[in-house]
Every structure is written in C-alpha cells, then in structure tokens.
Amino acid sequence: MLPLHPFRPRSLSLLQGYSRQRFIADLGAGFTVGIVALPLAIAFAIASGVKPEQGIFTAIIAGFLISALGGSSVQIGGPAGAFIVVIYGIVQRYGLANLLIASMLAGCLLTVMGALRLGAWVRYIPVSIVIGFTNGIAVLIGLSQLKDFLGLPIAHMPADFFSQIHLIAQHLGQINPMALLVGSACVAIVSLWPKTYAMERGALAWRARLRHSMALLPGTVIALVAATLACYGLDLPLETIGSRFGGIPQALPSFAWPSFSWTGVKQLLMPTLTLTLLGAIESLLCARVADKLSEQPRHDPNQELMAQGIANLLTPLFGGIPATGTIARTVTNVRAGASSPVAGMVHALVLLIIVLVAAPLAAHIPLAALAGILLVVAWNMGEWHEFARLRHFSLPYRTILLGTFGLTVIFDLMIAVEAGLVLACLFFIYRMSTLFTVQVLPSQGLPPGTRALKLFGSLFFAAVGKVEGLSQALQAGEHTLVLDMHMLISMDSSGLDALLQLQRSLQKQGQTLLLCGLNEQPASLIQRGGLAEALGPQGIHGDFTQWLASAKAASL
C-alpha cells in the first residue's frame, strides 16, 4: 500500500526558536505584502470576470490558509494572474456557481495529490511547456485588458481569442483618450517606480537612500492612489469600480454553499483538471523560486499541494475564486525580510483590516488604472527572451514551446498542456530510439562460423525494428550469432519479444543465438520472459571476452 504523506505544516516549526526579532521582521514583511496584494487582488478578480471583492476575499482566506498550512516558509498565496484566462473562460461557459464547484473539486484533487506524494512529479513537466503556456497566458491577459485600457464601450468581452481581437478592432474608433492617458500613466509609474527587490544593500548614497524610501510603497499602490485621486478630484469621464460593480462591501465574507447538481458536475471535468494542473505547477514553481531567494529550509512540495488543496476547497464557500502561489508577492515577501509563514498570515489580516476600514474608497478606482497595472503584470509574467533564444535549441524544444504557446492563445490551456506533453513524449521516444544502436564487431579472432554484434542503449518498443532484421545478418557458412549486451542498460517487453522472435527465426534456420554480458534489468526480464529457457543452459554467458576465450579453447 502506498504510504501517505504526513500532514506537517511548515508553521509548526515556529514552536522551535521563533524569536521577537523574527516576529517583528515577519510583521513588517506581511504589512508590505498586504499593501502590494490589494490592487492585484482587485485587478485579478475584475479581469477574471467576477466581482472585485471576490479577489480580496480570496487573498484573505486562501492567503491565510496557504501560509498557515503550507510547506514553504515564505510563499504567499492568493488569486494569481495565471488563473485569469482560465477563470474567465469557465465563468463564460459554465457560470459562476460552477466555477466555485470546479475550484472545490480541484482543491480535493490537489489535497489527494499531496497526500499521495505526487508533488515531485509536477517538476517533471518539461520547461518548454511551462514557458509556452506562461507566455500564452500573458498574451491573453494583455489582450483582455485592452478594452478598459482604451476605454472602449464594449459591454461584454468573449472568451475566444479571435473574437476578442475582432471586437476590439471594431471599436478602435471609439477610444476614450482620458482612459488611455490614465492607463498609460499607470503603466509608466508601475514600470519606473523603484522596486524593493532591486535595491542594493549596505551603505548607500543619499539618492540610493531616497529610492529605498520610495520603494517602501509599491508602484502599484502609488499608481492606483494617484489615478483614483485624479478621477475623483477632476471628475474624469472614466468607468470605475463603483459604476460597474457598485463598490466593495465593507463587511466580512459570508458563508454560502454554491448550488450543486450532478448534471453540472459532469461538465466540469476539464475545467477541474485545468485548475488542478495549473494550481500545482504555479504553486510549486513559486515555491522553488522562494527557495532560491530565501535562506529558509526548502519547501515540502507535498505539504504545499495539500495546503493549496484545502485553501481551494474552503475559499469558494465564502465566494472566493481559485488561488495558488504567487511569485510577485512571494518575492516581495522575501525581500521585505520574511522568515516564516507568519508574514503570509499577517498579509491576510492586513487585507482584512483594509476591507473593514477603507472598502468604500475603492468605488472610485478607475478601471483603466487596473488595466494598466495588469498590462505590466502580463509583461512581467512572460519570458519573452525565450523566443529570441529559440535558435540555440533543438527542433523538438522549439516545436513544443511554440506549439504550447499557440494552442494556449488560440484554444485552451488544458489542450495546450496535453498536446505539449504528447509532443514531448513523442520526441523523447524518438530520441531514445536513435540512441539504441547495433555495432558489428570485427570478425578477426572469432571462432569460425560466428558473427558478433554489440548492442548499445535501451531496447524498447520504438527501437525493436533494429533487432527484427538481425536474423538475416548471418552470411553463408555462419551458424552462430553472438550479442554482446553489456552496454544494453534496459529492455522492455517489446524488446524481449523481438529477441524471442530472433531466437525462433535463427532456430528455424538451424542457427544459434548466444547472449553475453547481461545487465541486471535485461537479465531479470529474460529469465522471467522465457527467453533464457528457450536459449538453453549454454545460451547465456557472463562476459563476451570470457566466452570468446572459452570458445577459442574449445575449438583447439
């Protein structure tokens, strides 16, 4: 029976050696991340097609649970940019209630994956697939924000890529110059504002100290506050959170069980798998980034998956959307001095206090400002330099990356990942089959009537064609075929069947097959598969050199 992974949240380690200094550092980091998370949570929710408070409630509930129960010391969880396109598509096709159910089902799957110790398997997804769908999602996020960034009078944006482009092109003559100006200003502020994670350490000149002081307030907050004050004070003709959603409620999230039906659940298989796979990949990639930046112990991938699962199972009960690890907020958390999950829990409490105190102010936030912020998020999410580096890589790598990117943009993330994995497997199989070779050994020194071949690599189903024709390798007067297999590292049942067929063909022709130098795995399969019995006691030898010496001695 497969042993289950023990449930050991990293926060339990706080009981050992947690000091007042660490708590103060975590408190400061949590406050910083909470401020950073506020505009992103609102922007991600609106871009996903749900109400802004759902993003904030997700950051509060899921963010607290992921930090409290996770396997990383410094990872911050919440709504993520990678989920925007997926959530928007699910809401458009299946409705909000089914999104909440799919999120809960994905939470169950993530919990089971962690309990069954499948966290390490997520790392085996090829990097070309990860880069492909990440860049594809970034393109879709950027495209989805053009409506509000340009102030286009479009009531409803479709989920399809080409339909979005067509609809935006139809309304380009109706651009709101003020929305474009505000959105562009936000892009400039967020891009050019000093970043804490880019700051130098140690003794600094006054200009560097000034930049340090400025970086304490994130550029996203500065852009959001400036745009909101301008919109409210100058009465700019811009659509705001208040005009579209009626503002953000100044209250705690309430428990509500989503409407449930088995008929609806049957349609949610692919959305659930998409949320599960994306959540697992994003959270564990984020945790690995945190490990590189932080001096804290490495994360536990299985515990992290269980925490992500529990968070996604419970958050929808309070109206929240899918959540995962978030790289930007995690990096900010590490750079701000976080040393334990307390920082993540503090960040959730800071968001809760902001909602209870200042929620009415959010009604004046212009949507063009949020669109500008998300355009920067989309740009930073994409690894665009990888396209320029493609010429340095092999054709399989380029095909997988570009194929995954194109399918993500045009069709669907799950289709893209599935196709990418199939392509990766096919290319891997082809590559492994080319590594299997058969080399003819020199005939000098061999006993009369003998032909010797050496096998290299792995004899599996894609390489058996190189063995099937060996029965015709013996020339006139040759009665024995010797296979030196000490360089054969593995063999599958198809390889075994090919050797059985070779032995039978040679036997019908009155010829003999001998095997030498078997490694452990091929030797075990040959014994269990009946080939050893068919060859007889003299058909298998320990070493080709020893066999050759004994064969020469016998011929004298």
The average confidence (pLDDT) of the chain is: 89
Give the pLDDT of residue 20. Answer: 84
Q: How far apart are CA 326 and CA 82, in angstroms?
A: 9
Give the pLDDT of residue 413. Answer: 79
Give the pLDDT of residue 16. Answer: 74
> 376 and 488 share a domain?
no
Residue 427 lies in a domain: no
Kindly state the percentage of the chain with pLDDT values over 90.
51
- For the segment 467-481, the average pLDDT, to the nearest whole number, is 85
Give the pLDDT of residue 247. Answer: 82
Give the pLDDT of residue 347. Answer: 95
> 460 and 527 share a domain?
yes
CA 130 to chain centre: 6
Comparing 203 with 176, the larger pLDDT belongs to 176
Sorted by sequence, the CB contacts under 8 Å of residue 506 that are 6+ apart come out as 471, 474, 481, 512, 513
Give the pLDDT of residue 46. Answer: 92
Torsions phi, psi for 366 (to 5 deg): -75, 140
Which of 366, 381, 396 is where one domain is finished? 381
Sequence letter at residue 139 = V
pLDDT confidence bin for 199, thresholds 50/70/90:
low
> 366 and 460 share a domain?
no
Model pLDDT for residues 530-554, shown as the tens digit of each residue: 999 999 888 899 888 888 888 877 7
Sequence letter at residue 253 = P
Residue 530 lies in a domain: yes
Model pLDDT for residues 112-121, shown as the tens digit of each residue: 999 999 888 8
Give the pLDDT of residue 525. Answer: 95
How many other CB atoms are there within 10 angstroms of residue 260's CB atom? Answer: 12
> 374 and 460 share a domain?
no
> 26 and 167 share a domain?
yes
Nearest to 220 by CA among 39, 82, 363: 39
Look at residue 206 and tell me whether its pLDDT is greater than 70: no
Residue 394 lies in a domain: no
Q: How far apart are CA 199 and CA 105, in angstroms?
A: 42
How many other CB atoms are there within 10 angstroms of residue 16's CB atom? Answer: 6
Sorted by sequence, the CB contacts under 8 Å of residue 389 that are 6+ apart come out as none
Q: How far apart are CA 83 and CA 321, in angstroms?
A: 9
Cβ atoms 100, 258 nearer than 8 A: yes
In the chain, the N- to C-terminal Cα span, in Å, equals 58
Residue 4 lies in a domain: no
Residue 337 lies in a domain: yes
Sorted by sequence, the CB contacts under 8 Å of residue 316 that are 6+ apart come out as 99, 100, 101, 103, 104, 107, 258
Sorted by sequence, the CB contacts under 8 Å of residue 173 that are 6+ apart come out as none
Which of 381, 401, 419 is where one domain is finished? 381
Query: Which letter does DSSP use for residue 455 in this model?
Result: E
Nearest to 329 by CA among 11, 69, 34: 34
- CA 228, 229, 235 angle in degrees (round to 5)? 90
Which of 381, 406, 428 is where one domain is finished? 381
Q: Between the CA atoms of 547, 548, 550 and 551, what dihedral angle is there, to the nearest 10 degrees?
A: 110
Comparing 35 with 194, the larger pLDDT belongs to 35
> 280 and 377 share a domain?
yes
Structural domain range at position 191? 21-241+266-381
Model pLDDT for residues 76-94, shown as the tens digit of each residue: 999 998 899 899 989 988 8
pTM: 0.82
> 475 and 363 share a domain?
no
What is the full DSSP assignment across 496-553?
A: HHHHHHHHHHHHHTT-EEEEES--HHHHHHHHHTTHHHHH-TTSEES-HHHHHHHHHH
Helix, strand, coil abundance in the chain, percent, nearest 5: 65, 5, 25
The region of weakest confidence among 14-28, 89-103, 473-487 is: 14-28
Give the pLDDT of residue 201. Answer: 53
Model pLDDT for residues 327-381, shown as the tens digit of each residue: 888 988 888 888 899 999 999 999 999 999 888 888 899 999 999 999 998 998 8
Look at residue 445 and tell me whether its pLDDT is greater than 90: no
> 440 and 335 share a domain?
no
> 27 and 146 share a domain?
yes
Residue 430 lies in a domain: no
Model pLDDT for residues 136-195, shown as the tens digit of each residue: 999 999 998 999 999 999 888 887 889 999 999 999 999 999 999 999 999 999 998 876
Model pLDDT for residues 238-250, shown as the tens digit of each residue: 999 999 888 888 8
> 139 and 279 share a domain?
yes
3-state secondary structure of 38: helix
User: Exposed, middle or buried: residue 237 (CB in 10 Å: 0-12, 13-18, 19+)?
Assistant: exposed
Nearest to 324 by CA among 370, 274, 288, 275: 275
Give the pLDDT of residue 200. Answer: 56
Residue 509 lies in a domain: yes
Sorted by sequence, the CB contacts under 8 Å of residue 174 that are 6+ apart come out as 152, 153
CATH number at residue 454: 3.30.750.24
Model pLDDT for residues 249-301, shown as the tens digit of each residue: 888 888 888 777 777 777 888 899 999 999 999 898 889 888 888 888 889 99
If one counts the domains in the chain, the total is 2
Look at residue 500 and tell me whether its pLDDT is greater than 90: yes
> 32 and 164 share a domain?
yes
Residue 149 lies in a domain: yes
Model pLDDT for residues 381-440, shown as the tens digit of each residue: 888 999 999 999 989 999 999 999 999 999 887 788 889 889 999 998 999 999 999 999
> 215 and 341 share a domain?
yes
pLDDT confidence bin for 197, thresholds 50/70/90:
low
How many other CB atoms are there within 10 angstroms of residue 147's CB atom? Answer: 22
Torsions phi, psi for 312 (to 5 deg): -75, -20
